Amino acid sequence: MTSNKEDYLKVIYEGGGLERPVPNKEIAQALGVAPASVSEMLTKLNQQGLIVYGSYKGSRLTEAGLASCMDVVRSHELWEVFLIRHLGYTWREAHEDAHLLEHVASSRMIDRLDNFLKHPQTCPHGSLIPQNGRIPESEGFNRLSDLSAGETAMICRVLEDGTLLDYLERRGLKIHETIQLLSIDDYEGPVSFILEGRTINISFKAATQIFVKRLSGPAKEDYDGS
């Protein structure tokens, strides 16, 4: 498979394409190309059974599509872990530069990198890292915007869009931390919640791009997130 096709599949995967159709606009933005030029490739991937594509709805990844981008997804995510842990990268920087590294590394190098990093389960943005060519089973997540006031939840994953990553990291959002929702204003207004004793306010739109696991009990203090 050419790296270009893999790029499309990976962008759809990272955009949440297993859970929802990813709009053309987002795919174009993530790839840095004009929206008009993505539809041709998406039609091709649709014909090959790698995605389910509707020009107004967007693209969902099929099982076959997921399988054929696993190696590059794994490479991308392990590089992200490395860049953040060892080179002091931000969320956004790691996502951007992992794009440069993901295609050039051999599978031997990626296996050694995985060993060196002690087999992380998720990338820094919370996406599960494939093991043996498969994405591990995950429990279904809710969107942060689906929570009600007073509920506690663990932040599990954020969509990998550069602007969103900067926005959330600046506000101190952390993966695998517990939050308590304070309020969601009417008419899709701002969302506020408590994280590590601080109140954080984000836009409703951002809250729809954060995936959480509802917790019934009180906040867990000892979760190490790795």
CB of 47 to Zn ion, least distance (A): 27
Nearer to Zn ion, 123 or 202 (CB): 123
How far is C-alpha 204 from the chain's CA centre? 18
Binding stretches for Zn ion (CB under 5 A):
80, 95, 123, 125, 160
- Maximum distance among all Cα pairs of the chain, rounded to whole angstroms: 52
CB of 124 to Zn ion, least distance (A): 6
Task: Give SS3 for 198.
Answer: strand
CB of 190 to Zn ion, least distance (A): 26
How far apart are the C-alpha atoms of 83 and 116, rounded to whole Å? 13
**Exposure letters 6-32 (e unless 16+ CB within 10 A, then b):** bbbbbbbbbbbbbeebbebebbbbbbe
Nearer to Zn ion, 119 or 220 (CB): 119
CB of 196 to Zn ion, least distance (A): 22
Torsion angle defined by CA atoms of residues 129, 13, 195 and 221, in that order, rounded to the nearest 10 degrees:
-20
Nearer to Zn ion, 14 or 38 (CB): 14
65: number of Cβ within 10 Å: 25
- Chain residue whose CB lies nearest Zn ion: 123
Nearer to Zn ion, 105 or 184 (CB): 105
CB of 187 to Zn ion, least distance (A): 32
How far apart are the C-alpha atoms of 221 and 226, rounded to whole Å? 14
CB of 27 to Zn ion, least distance (A): 14
How far apart are the C-alpha atoms of 33 and 66, rounded to whole Å? 22
Nearer to Zn ion, 74 or 125 (CB): 125
148: number of Cβ within 10 Å: 9
Nearer to Zn ion, 102 or 152 (CB): 102
SS (H, E, C) 161-177: CHHHHHHHHHCCCCCCC
